[in-house]
């Protein structure tokens, strides 16, 4: 039981550390619905992974990245607003995922495990994926941090400074796709967005700089994982939703701060 809990804590802590800085960028850029669209696209990746018998993480990464590229391309047309495009892509990928799953009668799939996650069944191999992926994601994010921050604060001034907007945003979207792919088993494709957004939103009132907010988002994410797992074991509730509930409680408590 000790090793069982240790694996869950390590895996959840790894996801919290990666999600903190990325979640801050999602909050700053008002892209919360974009995370939801990617989570719906992940379900299509799961279905295609089973259909073509390929690694699910790679299938999810591929589908979410294609969805991100479609979003970037459609945004450049300026014919529809971003929320309209996101709504279409989110529901399209979700519908396609359900259709593909219905065409696999010989495959038994526990949709609840993929939708809401099962952190308590995480293996050492999953932890290795999270650790290796976390190093890559955080190192890459550190390289583009100033560029993406400049684009977020003042896009026109960032372009004048010579920042390549398309390349920077593409790398950022790739990092988001990657975190959704590797965290699918922990909190599920429908709840990973909450772990990206809620700790970052909680950290806003306790920060006076972008870097401090990213650090505080990691801290609140770690507390959410620890308290969520404790509540799951103590009250015998699902682990993924318990983590999100713990994060939400911390957010509500932060509202009391002036």
Q: What is the pLDDT of residues 135-180, one digit of tens each?
A: 999 999 999 999 999 988 888 888 888 899 888 988 988 888 888 8
- Rounded to the nearest 10 degrees, how much is the dihedral formed by the CA atoms of 19, 22, 24, 29? -140
Between CA 195 and CA 31 the distance in angstroms is 14
CA distances from 209 to 29, 136, 204 (A): 16, 24, 9
Quote the pTM value: 0.88
Tell the residue number behind the tokens 């952190």, with chain if given.
119
Region label for 163, one of left (φ > 0), alpha (ψ between -120 and 50) or beta (otherwise): beta
In a domain, 251, yes or no: no
In a domain, 218, yes or no: no
39, 180 Cβ separation under 8 angstroms: yes
**Structural domain total, the chain:** 1
For 184, the domain range is 2-105+113-189
Mean pLDDT along residues 217-225? 95
In a domain, 207, yes or no: no
**How does the average pLDDT of the chain come out, rounded?**
85
In a domain, 228, yes or no: no
Which pLDDT tens digit goes with each residue over 187-196? 677 677 888 8
In a domain, 176, yes or no: yes
In a domain, 30, yes or no: yes
Q: Of how many residues is the chain composed?
A: 258
In a domain, 222, yes or no: no
Between CA 100 and CA 94 the distance in angstroms is 10
DSSP class per residue in 151-167: HHH-HHHHHHTT--HHH
In a domain, 246, yes or no: no
Q: What is the domain-level CATH number for residue 14?
A: 1.10.3470.10
DSSP-assigned letter for residue 121: G
């Amino acid at each position: 039981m000790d090793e069982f809990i240790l694996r869950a804590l390590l895996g959840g802590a790894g996801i919290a550390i990666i999600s903190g800085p990325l979640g801050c960028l999602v909050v700053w850029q008002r892209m919360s619905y974009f995370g939801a669209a990617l989570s719906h696209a992940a379900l299509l990746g799961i279905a295609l992974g089973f259909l073509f018998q390929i690694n699910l993480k790679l299938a999810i990464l591929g589908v979410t990245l294609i969805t991100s590229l479609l979003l970037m391309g459609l945004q450049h047309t300026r014919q529809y607003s971003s929320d309209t495009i996101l709504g279409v892509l989110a529901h399209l990928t979700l519908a396609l995922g359900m259709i593909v799953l219905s065409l696999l009668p010989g495959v038994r799939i526990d949709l609840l495990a993929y939708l809401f996650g099962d952190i308590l069944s995480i293996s050492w191999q999953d932890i290795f994926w999270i650790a290796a992926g976390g190093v890559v994601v955080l190192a890459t994010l550190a390289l583009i941090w100033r560029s993406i921050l400049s684009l977020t604060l003042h896009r026109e001034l960032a372009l004048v400074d010579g920042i390549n907007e398309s390349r920077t945003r593409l790398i950022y979207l790739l990092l988001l796709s990657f975190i959704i792919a590797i965290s699918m088993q922990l909190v599920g494709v429908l709840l990973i967005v909450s772990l990206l957004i809620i700790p970052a939103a909680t950290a806003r009132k306790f920060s006076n700089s972008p870097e401090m907010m990213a650090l505080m988002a990691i801290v609140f994410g770690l507390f959410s994982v620890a308290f969520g797992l404790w509540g799951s074991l103590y009250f015998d509730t699902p682990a993924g939703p318990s983590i999100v509930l713990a994060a939400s409680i911390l957010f509500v408590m932060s509202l009391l701060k002036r």
